[in-house]
Amino acid sequence: MMFAVLLEDNEAAADMRTRYMADHLAFLETNQAVVSAAGPLIEAETGAPAGGLWLVSAAGAGDVKALVEADPFWPTGLRKSVRILHWKQVFADGKRQVG
């Protein structure tokens, strides 16, 4: 199954982003078999960091939660909240993916 993971940042721990970014990126590379895309979310009006978005392939939400909690950002307090949502792709590359 595919999941969209919405990660909200805790601005009180914003200094952790720069400090642990190299470890975070290495973690994503190590988990490239299940993390098909990942990147920051940025407030459109202010340009302030807001969190991140991952697309993850996993058997279930519990596996996704374990992956999020294994990220080097997790124990730093940078993540304020996490939403794990089942995602069904219906459109890609200009084409419908469903009938």
pLDDT, averaged per 10 consecutive residues of the chain (99 residues), comes to: 96 92 97 97 93 97 98 95 96 89
Q: What pTM was computed for the model?
A: 0.91
Which amino acid would we find at residue 13?
A
Domains of the chain as residue ranges with CATH? 2-96 (3.30.70.1060)
Residue 90 to residues 95, 97, 98: CA-CA distances in angstroms?
9, 5, 6
Angle at 62 between CA 56 and CA 63, to 5 degrees: 45
For residues 58 and 38, is the Cβ–Cβ distance under 8 A? no
pLDDT score recorded for residue 99: 74
Query: Which has the closest alpha carbon to 80: 12, 24, 4?
Result: 12
